[in-house]
Amino acid sequence: MNKDYEKAKKQVEEIKKIKIDSLVRARKGEFWIKEYSEELSSVTNNYNNTKARLKELFEIKRLPWWVHVVVHTKMFFHNPIHYLTKNRDYPSVMIESYWEFKRLKKEWEDDFDFTEEAIDRDYKVYEEASKTLKKMESLLKQWEKKIKLKRKYK
């Protein structure tokens, strides 16, 4: 009977360790979310800005042809080297940036969702471990009283 009692005490210690580990993991996850939330908001802002610029680009393409001629002529006379080198690649660069920001945003959101789920899981483990510990400790106290009573009567 003492072996069973010692085994139960070891299980209580293991449950305490699991309880503490789950709480530590949950807190680390919360700190990670707090630390990297600025980066997620930055990526989200960049994604939204790129998306807005692309919408503007596509709206500009719907304008009448004479507006395009006037604007391109002004741009050419204002800075011809810039017009010939950089303006041609602008739409493709914007589309690439849009897809890159969209991919980054999705990855960050997935990481945050996974972390939040892990935090919830760890808190559930902590709560269950607390309940189990209370029950086991009360049972161990009862067991200890019985062992003392048996020793007393022997």
pLDDT per residue over 109-122, tens digit each?
999 999 999 999 99
The band of 73, judged by pLDDT with boundaries at 50, 70 and 90, is confident
Q: How many distinct structural domains can be found in the chain?
A: 1
- 30-51 mean pLDDT: 92
pLDDT-derived band at 64, boundaries 50, 70, 90 = confident
In a domain, residue 136? The reply is yes
134's enclosing H/E stretch is helix 90-153
Q: Does the residue 74 lie in any domain?
A: yes
Choose between 12 and 56: higher pLDDT.
Answer: 12
Helices and strands: H and E segment counts in the chain: 4, 0
pLDDT at residue number 106: 94
Report yes or no on 98 lying in a domain. yes
> Model's pTM, two decimal places?
0.69
Instruction: Tell me which of 45-49, 74-78, 128-132 is least confident.
Output: 74-78
Within a domain: residue 72? yes
17 burial (CB, 10 Å; 0-12 / 13-18 / 19+) is: exposed
Q: If you count them, how many residues does the chain have?
A: 154
What is the domain range of residue 125? 19-153
